[in-house]
Amino acid sequence: MSRQFPCDVKDGHFGRPRLVISDDSLAVLTKLEVLNLSSNNLTRVPRGLPTTLTNLALSDNRIQYIFEEDFKELHHLKALTVHGNCPRCGNAPFLCVPCPNISLGIHPNAFANLTQLKTLHLAGNSLTVLNDFWFENLRHLTKLMLSFNLLQNAIQGELKSFSSLLYLQHLDLSFNFGHNAYPKTVQLSNGFSKLRSSPTVAKHIPIRKQTVSRFSKYA
């Protein structure tokens, strides 16, 4: 049976206290499977997370960089949610503070040991590139959320990062236009042809025609 360890702070988006987690303080929870640390103003991924985790949520914090070691020991992880750590504020429908580094930084090998991962949520981080190594070992991934980033150029250029996603069923690329740029159509990269399982790609994005008529609202 899953055990949950709630650490959420239920204050408003601004003025909320920042949760400080000492290194290895959660490692004693040796049977913990579900950990939700969202909306706590965290500035980094806590060190020494329980290796038994199958579901980890770090959304809507202020994490600026994901290091190679952050998830290294989480071999059982099946769902990782890291959305909203660097939101695009240009036309955000909520009070929004731009992150210092323009976009969330992610080490090329940050997800290398997450071989059991099925869901990865990276929406709302102002990502401008898709590193070739991020998804290389995620062969069981079925759901990849990349909406509300700045990937308009990345998904039109040379794209190698999807080649290992053999079982992907859902890919969300909605709202990935550039700042103050609203294209009528987008020519998708030939790299999408490497998605062998023919996943559902967001809404209004027909891969076969390799055009995008409109980016749908992320739900």
What's residue 134's pLDDT? Answer: 97
Domain chopping of the chain, boundaries: 1-219
Low-confidence ranges of the chain (pLDDT < 70): 1-16, 91-93, 181, 196-219
What are residue 190's phi and psi, to 5 degrees? -65, -15
pLDDT at position 91, please? 65
Q: Specify the 3-state DSSP secondary structure of 119.
A: strand
Instruction: Give me the pLDDT at residue 147, please.
Output: 92
- Tell me, what's the pLDDT at 205? 42
Q: Which CATH number fits domain 1-219: 3.30.360.10, 3.40.50.720, 3.80.10.10, 3.20.20.70?
A: 3.80.10.10
**Side chain identity at 77, as an amino acid letter?**
L
Query: What is the token pair recorded at 69?
Result: 């070691």
Strands in 4-6's sheet, in edge-to-edge order, are 4-6, 34-36, 55-57, 79-81, 119-121, 143-145, 170-172, 200-201
pLDDT at 32: 97
Give the Cα separation of 73 and 197 in Å (integer): 29
- Would you tell me how many other CB atoms lie within 10 Å of the CB of residue 130? 21
